[in-house]
Amino acid sequence: MSRTSHILDNALGAVGNTPLIRLDKVAQLHGLKCNLLGKVEYMSAGGSVKDRIAKAMVEAAEREGKLIPGKSVVIEPTSGNTGIGLAMACAIKVCSRTSLNTLAKGYSVIITLPNKMSLEKEAALRALGAEVVRTPTEAAWDAPESHIGVAKKLQREIPYGIILDQYRNVNNPLAHELTTGPEIIEAVVSTPSTSSKPSSGKVDVLVAGAGTGGTVTGLSRAVKKTHNKDCIIVGVDPNGSILAYPDSLNASHEGEQYIVEGIGYDFIPDVLSRDPADIGSWVKTSDAEAFAAVKSLMRHEGLLVGGSSGSALSGALRWLEQEPEGRRISQTPGANVVVLLPDGIRNYMSKPWFLKIAMEAEPSPLAGVIAGVLAKK
Ligand code: PMP
């Protein structure tokens, strides 16, 4: 059902149901004959793919009686977007009316956020009513001062503190298996093949970055179980992270810092499947190529995406251009290659990498015209 066809109870009704959009100009610029399609997750209510898991984890915890209105304190270590989804869900719970004049008591939220994550994410979290605790980016995941370590410490000390734990919660990959994946399949299957826009009628390749790995793992399950068992799933992992498989892929940039937020880790989360039967191929990406791809999505497709969307697109392009199977598919008209674009530029407006894209535009022929007009007396 379209989310705009009826009145929604609250913003959680506008989570997900995001569009799948052709990236024709990027495809053309790279000489691709296949369809390149972007699943645009910044159009979800809280602005990212992680709204889906936040909603699913809160609803599951409520069903299981783990959340006590007016008492529970939801604590979560995140790179920001899961926190925004949780804070949004919990803000709605606080404001929903139980009877005419009584506001239901909801849940408080504390987010532990590594220092490298943007000010915009912290501001969004605070605006939604969450507390934010910053942690050192360089702390190892299992160090007490890391975002995970600090969340655990807070949970031990704060009465009714609960960590829904996106790194282990089955509802993380499940939310993608039940929503993101089926939406992609439905959009591809229901779009007819025409002579000008041929389609194989199936999802042939799916490309997604990995943070917790919930998105790529859940997508793989949805597509392989219900739609096309031969679909090739490509995982994208930034240089400096260790999520790619086999491990040898990670060796050359071990420990390197990277700017892109939301993908990559220094440990393997439980929800990430590294089974090659699920994620058949991995690509490593650099900040520079990610930001070049963001610029391309903005200038050529009008899509205001965030940094990890650039990583996913640059990973997809590299796989299509360099892997033998990728080269074959890239030249097959009608083959559908879907790239998951996790969040939007709202989260990064003040970041130097974005300001460089925005403010250091190529000289436009219009600049001279404008100067001429303004100079006229
Ligand atoms: N991109 C961004 C911007 C994110 O916030 C996340 C979540 N950490 C991801 C990609 C990766 O998603 P997942 O955790 O499902 O692997």
Q: What does the pLDDT read at residue 69?
A: 87
Q: What does the pLDDT read at residue 169?
A: 98
Q: What does the pLDDT read at residue 1?
A: 44
Burial class (CB in 10 A: 0-12, 13-18, 19+), 141: middle
* Ligand 1 neighbourhood includes 171 CB (under 6 angstroms): no
**How far is residue 225's CA from residue 139's CA, in Å, rounded to a whole number?**
38
Q: What does the pLDDT read at residue 97?
A: 54
- Give the model confidence (pLDDT) of 29-63 as tens digits: 999 999 999 999 999 999 999 999 999 999 999 99
Quick one: tokens of 334?
């009608």
CB atoms within 10 A of CB 323: 16
Cα angle, residue 265 at apex, residues 115 and 155 outer, rounded to 5°: 60
DSSP 244-258: SSSGGGGGGGTT---
In the annotation, is 93 catalytic?
no
| From 48, 112, 122, 311, mutation site for ligand 1 pocket: most ligand atoms within 8 A of C-beta | 48
Q: What does the pLDDT read at residue 365?
A: 86
Active-site residue identified among 25, 33, 39, 50:
50
Q: How far apart are the first and last CA of the chain?
A: 57
Q: What does the pLDDT read at residue 255?
A: 84
* Ligand 1 neighbourhood includes 343 CB (under 6 angstroms): yes
- Number of residues assigned to the chain: 377
* Ligand 1 neighbourhood includes 77 CB (under 6 angstroms): no
> At residue 46, what are phi and psi to the nearest 5 degrees?
-90, 0
pLDDT averaged per 10 residues in sequence order, the chain, 377 residues: 76 97 98 98 98 97 92 96 96 66 74 98 97 97 97 97 98 98 98 98 98 98 98 98 97 93 97 96 98 97 98 98 98 98 98 94 85 94
ipTM: 0.99
Helix or strand (DSSP H, E) at 133:
strand 131-135
Ramachandran sector of residue 17 (left: φ over 0; alpha: ψ -120 to 50; beta: rest):
left
